[in-house]
Amino acid sequence: MAEDIKVIVFKLGVEEYGIEVDKVQTIERMMPITRVPKTYSFIKGVINLRGVVIPVIDLRGRFGIAEAEHTDQTRVIIVAVNEMEVGFIVDSANDVIDLNRDSIDTPPDVVGGIKAKYLDGVAKIGEDRLLIMLNLSEVLNKSEIVQLEGLEG
C-alpha cells in the first residue's frame, strides 16, 4: 500500500478537482481584485493577502472553460509552488479527503476539456465520484502560457 495523502477538493462546473493539501496555503472568500493591465486574460489581477500582493488566476479561464459569475460559493485557493504564490479562483471548495496514492490512475488524454499534461491522474472515490488531480507546476508553467498565447493571438 502506498501512503495516504490529504487532498483539497474543489469544483469547476460539475467536475471535482484535487490539490494536495501541503501545496495549499489558505482558502479565502472572494475579495476585491485589482486588475493588472496588459497581461493574460485569465490573470484576473492581484489581491492583498495579509500584506502580500498575490496574483490571481481564473482557473476556468486557464483551462479554456467559459468563465462564470462569482457567487457566494466562489473561493480563492492560494497555492505555493516553486516559490511562486498564486491564487486560483474556483467555483467552490468545501472538502478535504484522504486519498491513497494507489487509487490515482493515469489520466485519459482529455478530461473535462483539460489536457492531460495539466493532470497528475484521476482518482475514483466512493461509488460514482471522480476526482481530477491537478499537476500544479504544469498549470503554472509560464513558458507554456507564452506558447498558448502565441497560438491564440
Contact between 38 and another protein by CB under 8 A: the answer reads yes
Q: How far apart (Å, rounded) are the C-alpha atoms in residues 153 and 49?
A: 32
Q: Which of positions 112-151 make contact with another protein (CB under 8 A)? A: 140, 142
Contact between 8 and another protein by CB under 8 A: the answer reads no
Contact between 96 and another protein by CB under 8 A: the answer reads no
Closest CA to 77 of 89, 64, 68: 89
**Least Å distance between CB 144 and another protein?**
13
Given the complex with another protein, which of 20 and 85 has the nearer CB atom?
85
Contact between 32 and another protein by CB under 8 A: the answer reads yes
DSSP code of 112?
T
Contact between 29 and another protein by CB under 8 A: the answer reads no
Q: Concatenate the DSSP letters of all residues of 63-85 into one string.
A: TTPPP----TT-EEEEEEETTEE
Among 3, 29, 51, 69, binds another protein (CB under 8 A): 51
Contact between 44 and 87 (Cβ < 8 Å): no
